[in-house]
């Protein structure tokens, strides 16, 4: 991929408005997006890693602590089935505004096996739509350029008293134009409930760690939350902080709160990202409803730089 030289532009759909300032804003975004995508494709031997920067399957939860989506995409330890359950399956989808044109989807399942081990499998896919080839001007010269990536994960997790551990093997494949490539790796994570008797949860995990030469930049995340209200498993209010660092990219600080009230669940947080020295803040909101072992959740995240918000949906089923 390092020798590939392409100019790509994101096609922005018409909105029906004739405002010249709006048109110039869209044109500027398209030009900047073409430079970013071209640089990413040239720098990565396996492109598409940046597409998994979106919080797929998280609603507004912290990645290392959230067990909403089965199979533990962000932390293999969260794939351990809950007490009293035998298995869980789920689907998550996320779509970004037309200015970005990114779609993500994931399916995952986890099942309790021998010796209290939970085995999990997941498939996640992300793609960018409306990218087309140009020559020396914005006029198109052919069909859309495929730009997509997929991630297959196989994991195992086990709860041992207040500690839960998990590991996962990963294989990510990508397609950029007519070229395909792949990279393998593994991730590990842990969650400690009430360590040393303190009333809090602490978690740590890796994401996209790989020993290969053409490896992805790995993300390292730690998080902790404390209960403000904890009557039982159906009534709770927790708040916490998460810190994530991605090699060669930057860091993310996330302050969040989550709550359960019988069949209802809600979460909210403020994310501050520092990427290449550019600092931005975004609000995340999530809402969920449980019924008869099913849960449906909806999430929203603010966009930045004048971009609209992104939305996602989760549907999960716990089998007892």
Specify the CATH number for the domain of residue 279.
2.40.160.40
Q: Is 153 in contact with 122 (CB distance < 8 Å)? A: yes
Q: Which of 220, 221, 219, 161 is nearest to 194 (CA)?
A: 161
Asked if residue 240 is part of any domain, the answer here is yes
Asked if residue 236 is part of any domain, the answer here is yes
Asked if residue 187 is part of any domain, the answer here is yes
Residues 6+ apart with CB under 8 A from 124: 52, 56, 73, 104, 105, 106, 150, 151, 153
Asked if residue 3 is part of any domain, the answer here is no
Q: Give 3-state DSSP helix, strand, coil % of the chain, rounded to 5.
A: 10, 55, 35
What is the secondary structure of 234-295 as a DSSP string?
A: TEEEEEEEEEEEETTTEEEEEEEEEEEETTEEEEEEEEEEEETTEEEEEEEEEEEEEETTEE
Q: Is 137 in contact with 153 (CB distance < 8 Å)? A: no
Alpha helices in 14-86 (DSSP H): 20-43
How far apart are the C-alpha atoms of 54 and 100, rounded to whole Å? 12
Q: Is 40 in contact with 145 (CB distance < 8 Å)? A: no
Number of domains in the chain: 1
Asked if residue 2 is part of any domain, the answer here is no
> Where in the sequence is the domain holding 136, given as residue range(s)?
8-319
Asked if residue 172 is part of any domain, the answer here is yes
Beta-bridge partners for 10: 131
Q: Taking the model in full, what pTM does it have? A: 0.83
pLDDT at 305: 67
Q: Is 19 in contact with 26 (CB distance < 8 Å)? A: no
Q: Is 147 in contact with 176 (CB distance < 8 Å)? A: yes
Structure tokens at 255: 């302050």
**SS3 state at 39:** helix
**For each of the chain's 320 residues, which pLDDT tens digit applies?**
434 334 343 433 333 343 433 333 333 334 444 444 444 444 457 899 999 999 999 999 999 999 999 999 999 999 999 888 999 999 999 999 988 899 999 999 999 999 999 999 999 999 998 777 665 555 555 567 889 999 999 999 999 999 999 999 999 999 998 889 999 999 999 999 999 899 999 999 999 998 887 788 999 999 999 999 988 778 999 999 999 999 988 999 999 999 999 999 999 999 999 988 889 999 999 999 999 999 999 999 998 767 889 999 999 999 99
pLDDT at 137: 56
Asked if residue 165 is part of any domain, the answer here is yes
Q: Tokens 């598409």 belong to which residue?
A: 48
**SS3 state at 33:** helix
pLDDT at 10: 41
Backbone angles phi, psi at 230, to 5 degrees: -150, 85
Q: Is 92 in contact with 106 (CB distance < 8 Å)? A: yes
Q: Tokens 């930045």 belong to which residue?
A: 304
How far apart are the C-alpha atoms of 273 and 243, rounded to whole Å? 10
pLDDT at 145: 86
């Amino acid at each position: 991929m390092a020798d590939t030289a392409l100019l790509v532009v994101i096609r922005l759909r018409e909105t029906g408005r004739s405002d010249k300032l709006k048109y110039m804003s869209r044109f500027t975004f398209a030009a900047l997006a073409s430079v970013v995508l071209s640089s990413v494709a040239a720098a990565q031997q396996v492109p598409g890693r940046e597409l998994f920067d979106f919080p797929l399957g998280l609603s507004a939860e912290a990645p290392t602590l959230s067990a909403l989506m089965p199979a533990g995409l962000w932390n293999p330890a969260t794939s351990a089935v809950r007490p009293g359950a035998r298995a869980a399956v789920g689907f998550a989808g996320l779509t970004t505004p037309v200015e970005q044109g990114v779609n993500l989807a994931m399916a995952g399942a986890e099942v309790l096996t021998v010796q209290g081990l939970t085995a999990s499998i997941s498939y996640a896919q992300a793609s960018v739509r409306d990218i087309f080839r140009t020559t020396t001007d914005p006029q198109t010269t052919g069909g859309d350029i495929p730009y997509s990536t997929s991630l297959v994960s196989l994991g195992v997790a086990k709860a041992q008293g207040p500690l839960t551990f998990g590991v996962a093997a990963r294989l990510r494949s990508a397609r950029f134009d007519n070229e395909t490539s792949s990279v393998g790796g593994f991730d590990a994570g842990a969650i400690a409930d009430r360590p040393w008797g303190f009333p809090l949860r602490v978690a740590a995990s890796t994401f996209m760690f790989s020993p290969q030469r053409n490896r992805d930049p790995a993300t390292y995340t730690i998080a902790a939350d404390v209960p403000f209200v904890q009557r039982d498993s159906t009534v709770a209010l927790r708040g916490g902080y998460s810190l994530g660092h991605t090699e060669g990219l930057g860091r993310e600080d996330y302050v969040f709160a989550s709550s359960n009230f019988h069949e209802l669940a809600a979460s909210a947080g403020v994310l501050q990202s520092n990427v290449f020295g550019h600092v931005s803040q975004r609000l995340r909101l999530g809402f969920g409803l449980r019924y008869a072992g099913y849960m449906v959740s909806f999430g929203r995240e603010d966009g930045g730089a004048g971009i609209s918000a992104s939305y996602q949906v989760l549907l999960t089923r716990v089998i007892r």
